[in-house]
């Protein structure tokens, strides 16, 4: 199973694009802010050492990881108990390997995209800037995340590898660690709130000495999100919304406490499973979905289907829904990069303000009449 499918399924289970990244609106930078939304990591200073603790690298993790980031010019006179840390990284980092497409936007907006030297399954990357570096050979293909080409990675000799994982059983990471290349886990995808995911830009900042820049950039995202949410509060009605679709005869809807459910609430939509307490996806039967959502005003993300013809061919019961009949179905898997990467899964976690505006425009077009959605597109 390739990483694209793994990430899509994980996001469905645990949390339920712009077509050109360069066209995204630029953010205004603001003053610094504390980590206020992300629950999976913390940062604190101890003299000249930065202690980065990841408490939730994946859902259900039974332990946290602590990393020590030490300035290169201080390393010689720094004594550390190596057993007390899961990795020690010298900073600023000059060469980095990351393993999830959600890591790419953080590097680029911080201005350190040129430090990336390797990535597993580069076809998943949609960013124009990083694709140019891939095509010129500056970013090496490392295979699949679950079976990284460790020989090539070790030859690249990066200062750090930022790992994406669903558990601590990735043997390739263990091989990399034994080669004295530090591996640090990033759990941005395990966050449950939109702003919590986006705040992981601050996770990357200490590796490059860019904490103030990350604080400022996130403050801009936070402000844009708050303003969009305030705008949505002016809506005069709340349309009903259905999510998900069938996968092997089981329908997966987003849980009532999931990332998607939070977006729907902030966009002033009435999510039909809002009363559910699950933070991930919820498996339900087709019959129960029909009983509850046959008359829903809108339908988001019907599995991986991108056209009404495909939906009708996939399951004739889809045609019974009002949203199908009235052509009110939208998907976040239509917008793709040049090599087929899904733009939503690369960039949306980093720009929740744009996701919210997309949904406001769809549900309440009068509030954002001249807006062009970046991620959610109408089915064809």
Q: Which fold would CATH assign to domain 29-224? A: Rossmann fold (3.40.50)
DSSP 267: T
> Rounded distance, CA 290 to CA 325, Å?
14
- pLDDT, tens digit, 9 for 90 and up, residues 207-252: 999 999 999 999 999 999 999 999 999 999 999 999 999 998 899 9
Please write the tens of the pLDDT for every residue from 81-126.
888 999 999 999 999 999 999 999 999 999 999 999 999 999 999 9
- Report whether pLDDT(154) > 50: yes
CA-to-CA dists, residue 151 to 136, 147, 263, angstroms: 21, 11, 42
Q: Which CATH number fits domain 233-378: 3.40.50.170, 3.40.50.1980, 1.10.3720.10, 1.10.760.10?
A: 3.40.50.1980
pLDDT score at 21: 36
Q: What is the mean pLDDT of residues 297-315?
A: 96
Separation CA 115–CA 158 (nearest Å): 9
List, by residue range, all CATH 3.40.50.1980 domains of the chain: 29-224, 233-378
- For 116, phi then psi, to 5°, come to -70, 130
Q: Does residue 8 register a pLDDT over 70?
A: no
User: Which tokens belong to 86?
Assistant: 């899961």
Q: Cα–Cα distance between 116 and 108 in angstroms, integer?
A: 10
* Among 161-175, 176-190, 216-230, the least confident range: 161-175
Integer Cα distance of 209 and 370 in angstroms: 39
Mind giving me the DSSP string for 310-354? HHHHH-GGGGGSHHHHTT-EEESSS-B-TTS-BHHHHHGGG-HHH
Q: From 283, 272, 281, select the one nearest 250 (Cα to Cα).
A: 283
């Amino acid at each position: 199973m390739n990483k694209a499918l793994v990430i899509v399924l994980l996001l469905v289970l645990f949390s339920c694009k712009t077509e050109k990244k360069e066209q995204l609106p630029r953010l205004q930078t603001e003053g610094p802010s504390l980590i206020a939304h992300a629950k999976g990591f913390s940062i604190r200073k101890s003299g000249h050492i930065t202690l980065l603790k990841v408490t939730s690298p994946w859902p259900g993790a039974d332990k946290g990881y602590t990393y020590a980031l030490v300035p290169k010019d201080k390393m010689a006179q720094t004594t550390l108990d190596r057993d007390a840390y899961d990795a020690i990284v010298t900073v600023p980092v000059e060469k980095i390997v990351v393993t999830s497409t959600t890591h790419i936007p953080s590097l680029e907006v911080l201005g350190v995209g040129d430090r990336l030297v390797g990535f597993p399954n580069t076809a998943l990357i949609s960013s124009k800037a990083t694709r140019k570096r891939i095509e010129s050979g500056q970013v090496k293909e490392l295979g699949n995340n679950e079976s990284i080409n460790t020989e090539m990675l070790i030859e690249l000799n990066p200062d750090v590898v930022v790992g994406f994982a669903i558990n601590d059983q990735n043997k390739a990471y263990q091989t990399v660690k034994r080669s004295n290349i530090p591996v640090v886990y990033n759990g941005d995808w395990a966050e449950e709130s939109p702003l919590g995911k986006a705040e992981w830009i601050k996770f990357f900042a200490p590796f490059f000495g860019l904490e103030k820049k990350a604080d400022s950039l996130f403050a801009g995202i936070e402000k844009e999100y708050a303003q969009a949410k305030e705008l949505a509060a002016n809506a005069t009605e709340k349309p009903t919304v259905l999510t998900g679709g069938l996968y092997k005869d089981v329908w997966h809807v987003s849980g009532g406490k999931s990332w998607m459910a939070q977006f729907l609430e902030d966009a002033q939509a009435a999510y039909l499973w809002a009363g559910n307490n699950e933070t991930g996806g919820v498996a339900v039967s087709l019959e129960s979905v029909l009983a509850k959502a046959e008359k829903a005003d809108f339908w988001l993300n019907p599995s991986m289907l991108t056209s009404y013809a495909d939906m009708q061919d996939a399951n004739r019961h889809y045609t019974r829904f009002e949203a199908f009949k009235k052509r009110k179905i939208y998907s976040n898997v239509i917008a793709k990069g040049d090599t087929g990467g899904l733009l939503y899964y690369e960039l949306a976690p980093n720009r929740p303000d744009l996701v919210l505006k997309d949904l406001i425009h769809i549900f309440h077009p009068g509030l954002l009449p001249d807006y062009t959605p970046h991620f959610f597109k109408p089915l064809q």
